């Protein structure tokens, strides 16, 4: 089963980087041990304006998610997953920056702001596939608290600490496989 993930962004100069980033992640996720077929596609223009309006009026990810579900239902579109790339100056980013300096996500909506690094984008995207964070915000050492030292779900995932595929711990691989099975 092939799933569609929509994305939109508020940074035109990053458009090509975002496409390359999505294609690269898509390639990794199609390999073992995940083996999921999905595609990323830009949010249709007729929806993008309304999505931007929703985000400009809210500073809560769950409120945005509810309004987005309603918007997609009204248009008879399937709202399953959405990645939004926005600047740090956006209302939503400002609401979450203190606790989550790069992005925030739940099971159907991921928002990345500030740093436009592919590892940050991938970390938030993988939440949409069922992955959980492998760190505890209450601890001073926020290194990965799983058995995988290069797990991308660690705090502040970067090229230096993520390195090569597969960059996911077994627990997150199992969560993602379970999510994929639920889609079938």
Give the pair of three-digit tokens for residue 77. 């579109």
Question: So where are the chain's domains?
Answer: 2-132+169-183
Phi and psi (nearest 5°) for 105?
Answer: -155, 155
Tell me what percent of the residues of the chain surpass a pLDDT of 90.
14
Q: Hey, how many other C-beta atoms are within 10 angstroms of the C-beta on 37?
A: 11
Residue 145: is its pLDDT beyond 90?
no
Is the sign of the CA dihedral 58, 62, 68, 70 positive or negative? Answer: negative
Does the pTM exceed 0.95? no
By CB atoms closer than 10 A (0-12, 13-18, 19+), residue 171 is middle
pLDDT-based confidence at 35, cuts 50/70/90? confident
CA-closest candidate to residue 152, choices 177, 129, 182, 179: 129
Q: Are 116 and 103 in contact (CB under 8 A)?
A: no
Residue 127: is its pLDDT beyond 60?
yes
| C-alpha gyration radius of the chain | 16
* Average pLDDT in the chain: 82
Element (H, E) at 4: strand 2-9
User: Which CATH number fits the domain 2-132+169-183, given the four candidates 3.90.1070, 3.90.1690, 3.40.390, 3.30.420?
Assistant: 3.40.390
């Amino acid at each position: 089963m092939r799933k569609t993930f929509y994305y939109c962004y508020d940074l035109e100069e990053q458009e090509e980087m975002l496409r390359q980033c999505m294609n690269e992640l898509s390639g990794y996720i199609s390999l073992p041990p995940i083996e999921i077929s999905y595609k990323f596609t830009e949010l249709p223009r007729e929806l993008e304006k309304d999505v931007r309006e929703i985000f400009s009026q809210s500073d809560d990810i769950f409120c945005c998610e509810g309004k987005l579900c309603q918007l997609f239902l009204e248009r008879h579109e399937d709202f399953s997953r959405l990645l939004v790339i926005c600047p740090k100056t956006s209302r939503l980013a400002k609401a979450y920056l203190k606790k989550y300096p790069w992005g925030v996500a739940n099971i159907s909506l991921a928002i990345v702001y500030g740093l436009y690094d592919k590892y940050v984008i991938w970390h938030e995207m993988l939440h949409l596939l069922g992955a959980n964070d492998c760190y505890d915000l209450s601890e001073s050492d926020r290194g990965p608290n799983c058995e995988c030292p290069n797990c991308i779900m660690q705090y502040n995932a970067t090229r230096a600490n993520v390195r090569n595929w597969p960059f996911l711990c077994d627990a997150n691989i199992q969560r993602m496989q379970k999510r994929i099975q639920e889609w079938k």
